[in-house]
Structure formats: structure tokens, C-alpha cells
Amino acid sequence: MVIMRPLAVLRHDLPASLVVFLVAVPLSLGIALASGAPVAAGLVAAVVGGVVAGALGGSALQVSGPAAGLTVVMYETIQTFGWAVTCAITVLAGACQILLGLSRIARAALAISPAIVHGMLAGIGVTIVLGQLHVILGGKAQSSAVENVAELPAQIVAHHDSATIVGLITIALLLLWPRLPQAVRKVPGPLAAIALATVVSVVSGMTLPRVELPGDLLNIHLVPQLPDGGWGGFALAVVTIALIASVESLLSAVAVDRMHTGPRANLDRELVGQGTANMLSGALGGLPVTGVIVRSSTNVTAGAKSRVSAVLHGVWVLLFVVLLAGLIQSIPLAALAGLLVHVGAKLVNPGHMKTVLAHGDLPVYLLTLTGVVVFDLLTGVLAGIGLAVVLMLRRTAWSGIHIEREGDDWRVVVEGVLTFLSVPRLSKVLGTVPDGATVRLELVVDYLDHAAFESLHTWQQAHERAGGTVEVDEVGHPWFGEGKAGRPTRSRIAASQAVPRWLAPWSEWQAAEAVDIPAQQTRRGATEFHRRAAPLLRDTLSGLADGQRPRTLFITCGDSRIVPNLITTSGPGDLFTIRNIGNLVPPGQADPSMNASVEYAVGVLGVEEIVVCGHSSCGAMAALADGPPPGPLSTWLRHAEPSAHRLGSATLDGAVPAREGDRLALHNVLQQLDHLREYPAVAAAESAGKLQLTGMYFHVGDAQVYMFDAAERTFRPAGAPVVVPGT
């Protein structure tokens, strides 16, 4: 069994590695060409990336190698420092990646906005396309995207030779390949396109530039060389390549994790593996290595199960280069340029644009793209980060401030985060309120800083001195009220402990002057519903306008502390509720009102559950225990006498309540369930399995809901397993 497991893994990884190898070779050659590096540098990076990063990295199925994401910055670096110094930069960039991985801060890279990453890739794609179009048209790529654009019209109208034919054949095959039968598509599109374009060029005897390789690829010398000067630019290039390679590798690893169900990536280990591969690749004269989403997704799709596939793909690249170097030298550069135009165009993904537009980040995407194309990759990314930070600050500090007139009064509403950044606009709005007016200031704020508090407080004092009236209504945490009381709230953590208005009683959120005026409390509550809740519930209620289909009949006490929709987290249309003193269902169907309600709920509405909910500190049960005084209450509580004489003992999570009234409340719930079973409609529905009867108990002081467990004969806390009879 110990031997069979590696063999079983290899059965998947070996064929997957061959597929990835076939994709990697042409891409590695094309990326080296676009980077302005020796073509062999792309193959060295493919070998090292596959073997070293595959073996040491933290992502089991990610495949590493030279990536299109670094072509622009590598081209600029090579043009500035030369190839030997660029190799030294790659070595030091790898060392930086190792330090980042050992520092365990890899996840910080995920804080970069996706809009910046997608904009960066799109900018790289545009730059690659603009440069490689010149190669396809028989010319030579210029040193910048702007120059490529300027020279492109003349290149288009110029005489075109065989290079154009080969480039167009390559692009056409890449576009056509996904539409071919699946049996044909088992051969990777890039490999097929390069191979067919090469065959056409050789058979037709075309004379055009082709790939050049050193005479002996195995004769590797240590290439890295430090610069003679310009250390500031040298250091900046090291940091730039390290950061871009790290971000691209980490984002690729995260994307690969979403494609399979195997082990998740260790991002810190992945950085160490990538850094080690870059140090070795640079030392051997190779391009920088990153995790590559194209090869990685191919690896997953091909059925790879472990990192063995990535390692083997690197071995196949090495063997191919050593044994078939002459075949590689037959590949036209125009064919590789056609491949790169196709790859670059795919980096400009319309789906990404739609996504960032939906999230409001299109400006960040466009600025990053433009910066990469017009200037360079680092400038574009930094510009995107700067704009993303500005937009983040704007959104974080945003506050909606508007004013409206209500008859002779004025209503000012402030929503969001109210900080010093909003004070000028707040002052402008408050300045439009006439002197002497009655103003209702509604603060629906997540945070109120000192500057905003002072502005509001100063305006309130000035307005009231001028004969006006200001009523401050804070929805949520009383930031302003606490500040006036000399207890300013310093953080949102403290504010989050405030009970939301829709859960708190009137006494906790209505103004003190309204507490002694019940009618005013009701009016303010209705106004609050109209302003806050109604717009949110309008669609729900419109769907219930022509009828109701509740699933539960809820019978409970009329006690004001019991709020059925609150303790069951339900809303309009969910509960058909009956409330009376003591949550009683009179035996023998002695109460016409209860009879009609039960028959309507079961027979007409077809509810699937009936809940009887008692509660602690119930006044009806206390009166039953002590003997109620003569009068209507005494007459009504006669219906509860069977509960008082019920045999056995109901417990609350295995314990008997200390107070007799609470013990009676538990017995009473079970007794009312028995009374419900005397209804023919209830009994028939329950026996048919269409109706469930549930006992519930609410402990007011603990805010704890208990459900009756028939198997254990006890009320257990909600969330604990409950055994339903008959299941």
C-alpha cells in the first residue's frame, strides 16, 4: 500500500506534466523575446521554475516559470542595465522574496485591490500587443508603448513580407483552436500554432528571423554582475521585480486554490520557494520566475494531483532543449510574436472590466492600465494604489447629508461616517436652516469624530440662542449624546455594543421628553417605521398584499416582554399569532375565539407547525399559583387549572425552576399542547405528518429561548439537538 499511493499519484501527474510542458515551451520562448532577453533565458526560467519552485513552493498545483506580467519591467531593466546586471537584480529580488516569506507577511499582498492587478495585467497586455505587432508586420518593436503607437501607422502601410503571413497564421490558429473538435484540442493550442506556423515557413522556404540559441546550452557560466554605478536605480529595480513577482505568484496561488479541492496553499512557503527559484534562475542566466495562471490552470485541468506534475514539466523542458535545440531554432520570431499578441490581448479581459465597474473601481483600473502603457509598470501600479487609497478614504469618510422641509419645520439627516472631512459640507447645509426654525437632526452615523461633534454642538447652541429648537435623534449608538454628556465614544468597538433601535424598547431610544406621553411614543415609533423600515419592507409587503401563507401558528402570552417575531427572527407573513393571558388553549374547545383561530390556521391557512410559548415571571402563572382574586381574571384562569394539576415534572435543561410560577409555566405549555390535540383538525393533520406541535419557553432575564425535547422530557436551549416524536 505504501508503494501504490505514489504510483496512483504519478498516474495523474505524469500525463498532466506533459500537457503543461507542451504549453510552457512556446510561451517561455515568446516571453523571452518580448522581454528583450536571450531566448535561452526563458527556457532556463521554465526549467528552474518547474523544478525548484514546484518542489519548494507552498502551492501543490501551481506551475511557475517566466510570466507575461513581468515583460514590460524586464524589457526596461535590460535596456537600462544590460543582461548581466539584470541577472544580478533577479538574484537579489529572489533574496527579497525569501525574506518576505520568512517574515510571514505574504497575505499582506492580498490587500492590493483586484482592480490594480487587473489594470496592471491589461496594461501589460496592451504594451505587449503594441510591441509585437511591429514584429508581425516585419519591423522591430520600439523602446516604449508610446513610440510603438506613433510608428504603427507607418508600419501598417509599409511593405509586408513573409513574417506577416507567419504571424497572422499563428493568430488565426490560436483563435480557431477552441472551436475545433475536442479530440483535436487535446494538443495545446499554443504548441499547435507555433508548430504549424514553423512547418509552413520551412516548407515554403521563407527567409525570416528565427530563434537563436547558444551552441552549447549545458555550458552555463555564472552571468550575474553588479553595476558600476546607479545604485539607487539598481535597488529600485530589485524591489520592483520582487514585489511584482510576489504579488503575481500569490494571486495566482489563490486563484489555483479555487480550482481544486486538494490542500490549500501556504503563501509564506510559496514566497520562499519562488525566491529560491529566482535566485537560481538569475544565477544561471534565466528570467525571473513567478507562478503562472495559464500553466497552473492547464495543470489542474489536465488532472494533476500533486507538485510532482510541476517538477516533471521542468524536467521535460530541460530534456527538450538539450535534445531538440535544432528544432527550436527553426521557429520564426514572427510566430512567437503572433503568440504574444494573442496572449497580450487575452490579458485585457472584458469580464474584469465589468467586475471592477460593478464595484465602482473602474477609475483605478483605467489609471493603472494607462500608467503602465504610457509610463512604466511601477508608475502605473503606484498610481493605481494612490487612487485606490483616495477612493477608500472618500468612501470611508463619506457622509450623506441632506435637508428637507416638513411644513414649518426642518429635517436634517446625516448618514455614514461623519468626520472632519465632511465638516465643510455639513456647515454649508446647516447654514441654510432659517433662524428660529424647529429642526429635527437625525444622526444615522457609524462614527463621529471630535471635529464633527464640535461643529454640530456649536451649531446647535447658536441655533437655540437665536430662538430655534433642535431635536437630535440618533439612530444607533448615541455618539453625539455621549459627547455632550462628557463621555465621548472613542472607537467603533464600543459603539457596536449599542442595541439597534429596532430591537430596543422605546424607553432606550426615544427622547426623554416623550417618555411620559404614551401617544407620542406610539407616534414616534410609527414615524420611525415610515422613515426607516417601510422602504426596506415595501417589496416584501407588496407580495403579501393579496393574502398570507404563514407556516406557523404561534400561541403565546399577552405579556409585553414577549415579542414573537423578535425571539424567532421572523418577519411579516411568517407567524399567525394568537395572544392571551397565560397562552391558554381552553380545554374542551370552550373558547369560540380560540376555536375559530385554530380552525382557520390549520384548515384554511394550512400551517405546518403550532407553537405554544410560555415564559418566565408570567403574571398569569403566578396568580394561578397564589390563587387569583375574584373577577374576570379568575374566570379566565379556570382554563389553566389542568396545568396546575398536571402530573409529572417538566424541567428546564434538566433542572427544576425555583419559583412555583415558572414551574407552572413549563407544565402549562405542555398542557396546552394536549388541549390542541383535542381539535379534530389538529389531530388529523398531526397524525398525517402534516403538522408539528412544538413547546417553547422564553426566559426573560437570560434572553434565552428553550425548546421542548420530548425524548428527554425537558426544555433545552435553542440550538441544542431536539428529538421530534415519530422521527
Band of pLDDT at residue 699, cut at 50, 70 and 90: very high
- The distance in angstroms from the start CA to the end CA of the chain is 42
Longest dimension (CA), the chain: 117
Q: Crossing angle for the helix pair 308-323 and 293-301, nearest 10 degrees?
A: 110
**Known catalytic residue: 716?**
no
615 is catalytic: yes
* Upper half-sphere CA count for residue 590 (Cβ side, 13 Å): 13
Report whether pLDDT(178) > 70: yes
Residue 568's pLDDT band, with cuts at 50, 70 and 90, is: very high
Q: What is the pLDDT of residue 13?
A: 86
Q: What is the rounded average pLDDT of the residues 184-196?
A: 83
- Whether residue 428 contacts residue 453, with contact meaning beta carbons closer than 8 Å, is answered with no
Q: Which residue in 96, 374, 112 sits closest to 237, CA to CA?
A: 96
Question: Is there a contact between 594 and 617 (Cβ–Cβ < 8 Å)?
Answer: no
What tens digit of pLDDT does each residue of 90-138 get? 999 999 999 999 998 877 766 778 888 788 878 878 888 888 888 888 8
Euclidean distance between CA atoms 698 and 669, whole angstroms: 11
Taking the C-alpha atoms of residue 128 and residue 395, their distance in angstroms, rounded to an integer, is 35
Q: Identify the band that residue 490 occupies on the pLDDT scale cut at 50, 70 and 90.
A: confident
557 is catalytic: yes
3-state secondary structure of 103: coil
Q: What is the pLDDT confidence band of residue 556, given thresholds at 50, 70 and 90?
A: very high
* 87 has catalytic annotation: no
pLDDT of residue 264: 86
The pLDDT tens digits of the residues spanning 307-350 come to: 999 999 999 999 888 887 777 788 888 888 888 788 788 878 88
Determine how many CB atoms are found less than 10 A away from the CB of residue 220: 14
pLDDT confidence of residue 672: 96
Higher pLDDT: 266 or 5? It is 266
Which of 58-67, 198-207, 511-520, 616-625 is the least confident region? 511-520
Q: Is 703 exposed, middle or buried (0-12, 13-18, 19+ CB in 10 A)?
A: exposed
The catalytic residue among 559, 613, 663, 675 is 559
**pLDDT recorded at residue 649:** 72
What grid cell was written down for 346? 487575452
pLDDT at position 2, please? Answer: 35
- Rounded distance, CA 224 to CA 245, Å? 19
Which domains, ranges and CATH numbers included, belong to the chain?
4-348 (no CATH), 397-498 (3.30.750.24), 510-547 (no CATH), 548-717 (3.40.1050.10)
Would you place residue 56 in the very low, low, confident or very high pLDDT band (cuts 50, 70, 90)? very high
Q: What is the mean pLDDT of residues 617-632?
A: 89
Q: How far apart are CA 215 and CA 3, in angstroms?
A: 42
From the list 210, 295, 618, 663, the catalytic residue is 618
| pLDDT at residue 195 in the model | 87
Lowest-pLDDT choice from 103-117, 351-365, 551-565: 103-117
* Average pLDDT rounded to a whole number, residues 410-414: 91
Say what the pLDDT of residue 690 is: 95
**Is 561 part of the annotated catalytic residue set?**
yes
Average pLDDT of the residues in 188-206:
87
Which candidate in 118, 615, 639, 667 is catalytic? 615
**pLDDT value at residue 8:** 53
Query: Residues of the chain with pLDDT > 70: what percent?
Result: 92
Residue 512 has pLDDT above 60, yes or no: no
Cross-strand partners of 415:
400, 444
* pLDDT at position 720 over 70: no
Note if the pTM is more than 0.85. no
Q: Which residue in 557, 639, 663, 716 is the catalytic one?
A: 557
Average of per-residue pLDDT across 139-156? 82
Q: What is the mean pLDDT of the chain?
A: 86
187-205: average pLDDT: 86
**Is the pLDDT assigned to residue 52 strictly greater than 70?**
yes
Q: Are residues 62 and 313 in contact, defined by beta-carbon separation less than 8 angstroms? A: no
What is the torsional sign of CA 520, 522, 523, 525? positive
CA distance 664 to 108: 59
pLDDT for 65: 95
* Catalytic residue from among 405, 561, 659, 713: 561
Q: Are 612 and 695 in contact (CB under 8 A)?
A: yes
Q: Extract the C-alpha cell encoding 87.
A: 541577472
Report residue 388 as a C-alpha cell. Answer: 485606490
Give the mean pLDDT of 206-230. 75
CA distance 617 to 612: 16
Report whether 631 contacts 576 (CB < 8 A): no
Mean pLDDT of 509-535: 71
| Max avg pLDDT among 263-277, 363-377, 384-398 | 263-277
pLDDT at residue 724, as a whole number = 47
